[in-house]
Chain A
Amino acid sequence: EAGVVQSPRYKIIEKKQPVAFWCNPISGHNTLYWYLQNLGQGPELLIRYENEEAVDDSQLPKDRFSAERLKGVDSTLKIQPAELGDSAVYLCASSLSGTGSYEQYFGPGTRLTVT
Protein backbone atom coordinates (compact mmCIF):
# COMPACT_ATOMS: atom_id res chain seq x y z
CA GLU A 1 0.00 0.00 0.00
CA ALA A 2 1.39 3.40 -0.95
CA GLY A 3 1.96 5.85 1.87
CA VAL A 4 1.24 9.55 1.96
CA VAL A 5 2.86 11.21 -1.03
CA GLN A 6 4.11 14.78 -0.97
CA SER A 7 5.76 16.92 -3.60
CA PRO A 8 8.05 18.59 -4.02
CA ARG A 9 10.45 17.29 -1.37
CA TYR A 10 12.49 20.49 -1.41
CA LYS A 11 11.74 24.00 -2.53
CA ILE A 12 13.87 27.13 -2.49
CA ILE A 13 12.22 30.43 -3.33
CA GLU A 14 12.84 34.10 -2.84
CA LYS A 15 10.69 36.03 -0.42
CA LYS A 16 7.47 37.47 -1.79
CA GLN A 17 7.20 34.62 -4.31
CA PRO A 18 4.28 32.16 -4.24
CA VAL A 19 4.74 28.46 -3.51
CA ALA A 20 2.46 25.43 -3.50
CA PHE A 21 2.74 22.01 -1.92
CA TRP A 22 0.81 18.92 -2.94
CA CYS A 23 -0.28 15.94 -0.90
CA ASN A 24 -1.93 12.66 -1.81
CA PRO A 25 -3.17 10.76 1.25
CA ILE A 26 -3.43 7.03 1.76
CA SER A 27 -6.28 5.61 -0.28
CA GLY A 28 -9.51 5.60 1.71
CA HIS A 29 -8.33 8.01 4.39
CA ASN A 30 -10.97 10.70 4.73
CA THR A 31 -9.08 12.96 7.13
CA LEU A 32 -6.13 15.00 5.91
CA TYR A 33 -3.84 17.26 7.93
CA TRP A 34 -1.28 19.88 7.05
CA TYR A 35 1.39 20.58 9.66
CA LEU A 36 4.26 23.01 9.89
CA GLN A 37 7.43 21.82 11.62
CA ASN A 38 10.18 24.23 12.57
CA LEU A 39 13.67 22.96 13.30
CA GLY A 40 13.86 21.37 16.73
CA GLN A 41 10.11 21.53 17.28
CA GLY A 42 7.18 19.20 16.98
CA PRO A 43 4.65 19.58 14.15
CA GLU A 44 2.00 22.27 14.54
CA LEU A 45 -1.37 21.79 12.92
CA LEU A 46 -2.26 24.27 10.18
CA ILE A 47 -5.49 22.77 8.88
CA ARG A 48 -7.51 19.58 9.12
CA TYR A 49 -9.95 18.29 6.51
CA GLU A 50 -12.74 15.80 6.91
CA ASN A 51 -13.39 14.83 3.29
CA GLU A 52 -13.71 18.16 1.44
CA GLU A 53 -14.54 20.23 4.52
CA ALA A 54 -11.92 22.18 6.47
CA VAL A 55 -13.06 21.41 10.01
CA ASP A 56 -10.17 23.11 11.81
CA ASP A 57 -8.23 25.95 10.21
CA SER A 58 -7.83 28.08 13.31
CA GLN A 59 -4.02 27.97 13.09
CA LEU A 60 -3.79 28.75 9.38
CA PRO A 61 -2.49 32.31 8.71
CA LYS A 62 -5.21 33.17 6.27
CA ASP A 63 -3.67 36.39 5.05
CA ARG A 64 -1.03 34.45 3.12
CA PHE A 65 -1.84 30.75 3.42
CA SER A 66 -4.62 28.89 1.64
CA ALA A 67 -5.48 25.24 1.22
CA GLU A 68 -7.92 23.19 -0.75
CA ARG A 69 -9.09 19.60 -1.00
CA LEU A 70 -11.60 19.83 -3.80
CA LYS A 71 -12.58 16.19 -4.34
CA GLY A 72 -11.86 14.98 -0.84
CA VAL A 73 -8.70 13.19 -1.90
CA ASP A 74 -5.50 15.10 -2.64
CA SER A 75 -4.80 18.54 -1.27
CA THR A 76 -2.77 21.64 -2.04
CA LEU A 77 -1.32 24.13 0.43
CA LYS A 78 -0.30 27.51 -0.93
CA ILE A 79 1.66 30.43 0.46
CA GLN A 80 1.45 33.79 -1.28
CA PRO A 81 3.58 35.75 -0.73
CA ALA A 82 6.22 33.75 1.13
CA GLU A 83 8.17 35.36 3.96
CA LEU A 84 11.55 34.46 5.42
CA GLY A 85 9.84 33.08 8.54
CA ASP A 86 7.95 30.53 6.45
CA SER A 87 11.10 28.46 6.04
CA ALA A 88 10.20 25.13 7.62
CA VAL A 89 9.12 21.60 6.80
CA TYR A 90 5.50 21.22 5.73
CA LEU A 91 4.10 17.82 6.59
CA CYS A 92 0.94 16.20 5.32
CA ALA A 93 -0.75 13.38 7.20
CA SER A 94 -3.89 11.32 6.77
CA SER A 95 -6.05 9.13 8.94
CA LEU A 96 -9.27 7.18 8.89
CA SER A 97 -11.81 8.89 11.12
CA GLY A 98 -14.61 7.20 12.97
CA THR A 99 -12.38 4.53 14.48
CA GLY A 100 -11.88 6.27 17.82
CA SER A 101 -8.21 6.64 17.03
CA TYR A 102 -6.30 9.49 15.46
CA GLU A 103 -3.42 7.34 14.30
CA GLN A 104 -1.99 9.51 11.58
CA TYR A 105 0.23 8.50 8.70
CA PHE A 106 2.72 11.14 7.68
CA GLY A 107 4.33 11.95 4.37
CA PRO A 108 8.07 12.75 4.11
CA GLY A 109 7.39 16.49 4.09
CA THR A 110 8.39 19.41 1.89
CA ARG A 111 11.36 21.40 3.12
CA LEU A 112 10.84 25.05 2.19
CA THR A 113 13.67 27.56 2.22
CA VAL A 114 12.78 31.21 1.67
CA THR A 115 15.74 33.44 0.84
Chain B
Amino acid sequence: SQELEQSPQSLIVQEGKNLTINCTSSKTLYGLYWYKQKYGEGLIFLMMLQKGGEEKSHEKITAKLDEKKQQSSLHITASQPSHAGIYLCGADIAYAGGTSYGKLTFGQGTILTVHP
Protein backbone atom coordinates (compact mmCIF):
# COMPACT_ATOMS: atom_id res chain seq x y z
CA SER B 1 0.00 0.00 0.00
CA GLN B 2 1.33 3.47 -0.83
CA GLU B 3 -0.25 4.73 2.38
CA LEU B 4 2.13 2.59 4.36
CA GLU B 5 5.82 2.08 3.69
CA GLN B 6 8.07 -0.41 5.40
CA SER B 7 11.83 -0.33 5.40
CA PRO B 8 14.02 -2.09 4.75
CA GLN B 9 12.38 -4.54 2.36
CA SER B 10 14.81 -7.22 3.48
CA LEU B 11 17.39 -7.59 6.20
CA ILE B 12 20.13 -10.16 6.75
CA VAL B 13 21.84 -10.19 10.13
CA GLN B 14 24.17 -12.38 12.10
CA GLU B 15 22.73 -14.06 15.18
CA GLY B 16 23.13 -11.85 18.22
CA LYS B 17 22.90 -8.58 16.33
CA ASN B 18 20.26 -5.92 16.95
CA LEU B 19 18.02 -4.69 14.18
CA THR B 20 15.25 -2.19 13.49
CA ILE B 21 12.35 -2.24 11.04
CA ASN B 22 10.43 0.94 10.27
CA CYS B 23 6.86 1.57 9.23
CA THR B 24 5.76 5.00 8.00
CA SER B 25 2.22 6.12 7.28
CA SER B 26 1.20 9.02 5.08
CA LYS B 27 -1.82 9.50 7.35
CA THR B 28 -2.40 9.76 11.08
CA LEU B 29 -2.91 6.41 12.69
CA TYR B 30 -5.64 5.33 15.04
CA GLY B 31 -3.57 2.24 15.79
CA LEU B 32 -0.55 0.35 14.50
CA TYR B 33 -0.25 -3.45 14.56
CA TRP B 34 2.85 -5.58 14.10
CA TYR B 35 2.59 -9.12 12.77
CA LYS B 36 5.07 -11.84 11.90
CA GLN B 37 4.58 -14.32 9.06
CA LYS B 38 6.50 -17.45 8.24
CA TYR B 39 6.49 -18.65 4.64
CA GLY B 40 3.32 -20.55 3.81
CA GLU B 41 1.62 -19.62 7.06
CA GLY B 42 -0.76 -17.02 8.36
CA LEU B 43 0.14 -13.89 10.29
CA ILE B 44 0.91 -14.03 13.99
CA PHE B 45 -0.01 -10.98 16.08
CA LEU B 46 2.93 -9.41 17.92
CA MET B 47 1.88 -6.05 19.32
CA MET B 48 -0.57 -3.19 18.99
CA LEU B 49 0.20 0.48 19.63
CA GLN B 50 -2.42 3.20 19.90
CA LYS B 51 -1.08 6.07 21.92
CA GLY B 52 1.46 8.55 20.61
CA GLY B 53 4.82 7.83 22.22
CA GLU B 54 3.71 4.36 23.30
CA GLU B 55 6.28 1.60 23.58
CA LYS B 56 5.64 -2.10 24.12
CA SER B 57 7.96 -5.04 24.57
CA HIS B 58 7.58 -8.78 24.30
CA GLU B 59 10.62 -10.89 25.01
CA LYS B 60 13.35 -9.36 22.84
CA ILE B 61 11.05 -7.40 20.56
CA THR B 62 10.18 -3.74 21.25
CA ALA B 63 7.83 -1.59 19.22
CA LYS B 64 7.33 2.16 19.43
CA LEU B 65 4.81 4.58 17.97
CA ASP B 66 6.01 8.15 17.52
CA GLU B 67 4.26 11.14 19.07
CA LYS B 68 2.66 12.20 15.79
CA LYS B 69 1.32 8.66 15.32
CA GLN B 70 2.58 8.33 11.79
CA GLN B 71 5.65 6.17 12.26
CA SER B 72 6.48 3.02 14.16
CA SER B 73 9.64 1.04 14.66
CA LEU B 74 10.18 -2.57 15.62
CA HIS B 75 13.44 -3.36 17.33
CA ILE B 76 14.84 -6.83 17.95
CA THR B 77 17.63 -7.18 20.47
CA ALA B 78 20.17 -10.00 20.19
CA SER B 79 18.47 -11.62 17.22
CA GLN B 80 18.07 -15.40 17.02
CA PRO B 81 17.30 -17.71 14.08
CA SER B 82 13.79 -18.07 15.50
CA HIS B 83 13.21 -14.39 14.74
CA ALA B 84 13.51 -15.05 11.01
CA GLY B 85 10.41 -14.43 8.95
CA ILE B 86 8.41 -11.63 7.40
CA TYR B 87 7.44 -8.71 9.62
CA LEU B 88 4.37 -6.74 8.59
CA CYS B 89 2.91 -3.58 9.99
CA GLY B 90 -0.80 -2.99 9.75
CA ALA B 91 -2.25 0.49 10.04
CA ASP B 92 -5.66 1.39 11.39
CA ILE B 93 -5.87 4.78 9.71
CA ALA B 94 -7.80 7.51 11.48
CA TYR B 95 -10.76 9.34 10.00
CA ALA B 96 -10.51 13.15 9.90
CA GLY B 97 -12.36 13.15 13.22
CA GLY B 98 -9.82 10.83 14.76
CA THR B 99 -11.92 7.67 14.83
CA SER B 100 -11.05 4.33 13.32
CA TYR B 101 -11.95 3.01 9.87
CA GLY B 102 -12.17 -0.38 11.53
CA LYS B 103 -9.78 -2.12 9.17
CA LEU B 104 -6.07 -2.59 8.67
CA THR B 105 -3.92 -1.55 5.73
CA PHE B 106 -0.72 -3.58 5.58
CA GLY B 107 2.77 -2.66 4.48
CA GLN B 108 4.62 -4.84 1.99
CA GLY B 109 6.60 -6.57 4.73
CA THR B 110 10.25 -6.87 5.73
CA ILE B 111 11.97 -10.21 5.16
CA LEU B 112 14.32 -10.96 8.04
CA THR B 113 17.05 -13.59 7.74
CA VAL B 114 19.17 -14.43 10.78
CA HIS B 115 22.34 -16.40 10.16
CA PRO B 116 23.52 -18.63 13.03
Binding site for B on A (CB under 8 A): 4, 33, 40-45, 48, 55-56, 91, 93, 97, 101-109, 111
Contact = CB atoms under 8 A, between A and B. Distances in A.
A40 B42 contact: no
Contacts of B48: 101, 103
A40 B109 contact: yes
B72 to A, nearest CB: 14
Contact of B43 (A48, A55, A97, A106): A106
Given A42-B4, A56-B102, A102-B104, 15 more contacts: A42-B90, A42-B107, A42-B109, A43-B43, A43-B88, A44-B1, A45-B103, A48-B103, A91-B43, A97-B102, A101-B48, A102-B100, A102-B102, A104-B104, A109-B40
B48 to A, nearest CB: 6
Contact of A42 (B31, B41, B88, B92): B88
**Secondary structure of the A contact surface, majority rule:** loop
Most B Cβ at <10 Å: residue of A33, A97, A102, A103: A102
A107 B104 contact: no
Contacts of A101: 31, 48
Nearest to A35: B106
